[in-house]
Chains A and B, each alone.
Chain A
Amino acid sequence: DGGITQSPKYLFRKEGQNVTLSCEQNLNHDAMYWYRQDPGQGLRLIYYSQIVNDFQKGDIAEGYSVSREKKESFPLTVTSAQKNPTAFYLCASSIRTGGGQPQHFGDGTRLSIL
């Protein structure tokens, strides 16, 4: 079945450490997105990519980095510069063109600080 796979499901970060969250999709979608979810705050866009080798900052990109070397993959690195990384992170993908297309979501990665 086609879908989005996020790994790991739970991740712990030590102070000063960078961690990378994986997101892989087999839906043949051009566009991919990373969101951060905090209780009571809905979803906030971190980064998005409309095409391979190109990505754009979202609303809360500080302290995060991404790469898009393959269509199927869009990993997110939470750097030590992100002072409050504890959150639920969601990856999504969609068709790039032809508005009105929904985004499809993975099951998320919950990141906590040790």
Chain B
Amino acid sequence: AQSVTQLGSHVSVSEGALVLLRCNYSSSVPPYLFWYVQYPNQGLQLLLKYTSAATLVKGINGFEAEFKKSETSFHLTKPSAHMSDAAEYFCAVSEVNAGNMLTFGGGTRLMVKP
């Protein structure tokens, strides 16, 4: 079965610093990949998705992610953190030919220090 690993349940950065949130998946066939953001007591909002087009995907709020097949990774980055980026981030995968079912990673809580 597909699995998704997000390294680091908590990540802390200073405002203005680089944000790097890690995601690795287990499928031998490149799946579809998603990053979602969740603010406290809210649902998940789609940040970006990879669907086998360009390997560097740009999303909302200045985030981007790079698909690396050789590393089975889809890490999320943002050049300069803002206080409003503090939230929980989830990586999710959907296997090809599995409809749009998602398997989620455990989430990473991003804290931004002033």
Which residues of A are in contact with B by a Cβ distance under 8 Å? 4, 6, 31, 40-43, 45, 48, 50, 88, 90, 92, 94-97, 99-108, 110
Contacts and interface: CB of A to CB of B under 8 A. Distances in A.
Contact of B98 (A40, A90, A99): A99
A95 to B, nearest CB: 6
Contacts of B96: 99
**Which applies to chain B's interface (DSSP): helix, strand, loop or mixed?**
loop
B106 A99 contact: no
Contacts of B9: 40
Contacts of B102: 103
Contacts of A92: 43-44
Contacts of B94: 99-100
B45 interface: yes
Contact of B43 (A45, A95, A106): A106
A107 B43 contact: yes
Interface string B59-94: 000000000000000000000000000000010001
